[in-house]
Structure 1
Amino acid sequence: MWANGGEYIDYESGTVKVNEPAFYEAMQFVADLNLQHKVSPNQEAEQAMNAYTRFVNGSLGMFAMGPWDQPSFWELPFQWDIAAWPASPNTGQTATWLGSMGFAVSAKSKHPQEAFDLAAYLSLDEQGQRENYQLGQAVPNLIDMAKGEFLEMEQGPQTRQVFLDIIEEYGRPDVIAFSKDTQWMDAFNQNASKVWNGDMSAKDFTAEIQPKMQELYDKGNK
């Protein structure tokens, strides 16, 4: 959807935008991968056997992964690699969700210095960052390390530069990152199966759900 030029919301104006063509056309494209083209498992099949298991047993050609998934692949009996998230044929652009993890120290902590020292170690310490990426948990925060020894790891993926490209070029924060109340997004996720199952077109569904999402967003965030 992002790659196609769509947005869930314009946070500056507070306008929910799921009923715009760039959004619902991309949503329909994803649904049709299963409904029409039969190249993606439906929801019931996915619940019965997840994507990783399907990939390992050879019944799925590709699926989405993050750096934290690497250890699960290091012992596979076949070669694998990663590629950039697919681009929209309409825009030629790609985009995907970018996850990260933060550490906070409570203002009421009885041990503020110790808590700060731990957060600093987990975030910035060179050896701590090295151990973290060697365990296959994350891309290191230290830029020189990320662009140096991290890229030179013996374990796959071979094209781990893709992880850095997402961070630097086309990764997006989670949609709800700027919402105090997320019920508006819950309403979308809880009802989107109508499209994935083929009960409604994405165009009709987004036209129906947009006013409800807007109402919930305005109530909880304005």
Structure 2
Amino acid sequence: MEWVLLTDTTPKVPPGRITPKYGENSEYFTIRIRHSGTFVFFGTPSYLGGEISHIDFCNSNEMSLIEIHSMAKEIGLEGNLAYYFSSTGVNDTNALIMIKDDFDVVNLCNFIDENRMVGVFINHQKFAPPSSASESLESIEKPSKGFSHSVHEGLEVRDEVDNTMVREPSKGFSNSIDERLDNRDEADNIVGREPRKGFSNSRDEGLEIRD
């Protein structure tokens, strides 16, 4: 059985609203496509505006990137399109995975929910270039390079300061201590070994006068 397009211009539809009763082990599922809107990024991506289309009776054994393109064309979409599917729920844009090839389409089938539905979001180049959307989505998982560099630079500066403090004490301080020790040694030598001549002479003169 071939997939069937149903449309709904109301964005706030319950996820399982028009899902056929496929059965628990069915190979069929529904793709809920959010399109004709635009991605915005305020810390996390969100999809604003647009419409919702449902593709019923998609066969998990026959899905490919060409099929996704055909669905978009059936909806009436043209131009350069980028496709993303949600790995955390049909309405959730916090964990989108870009569909680049057939492997990604097969991976999409691993995220079919309990209603036999998966969410797909289409980015239109005329609203926002797919490359910029892709970079913005990737930036959520990668830390800022500038912040990383500042951390490393801070650690390097700290290491330099620690090394300087531990291995190179202040030369001025050490010199002043050495000078004081030298002066003290000189004073000890003067007091212990060479009594003052003036005092010795006056004593001898006193003894001579007494005699």
Which has a greater percent of helix? 1
Q: Verify same fold: TM over 0.5.
A: no
- Structure 2 length normalisation: TM-score? 0.19
- Bigger relative CO (Cα 8 Å, ≥ 6 apart): 1
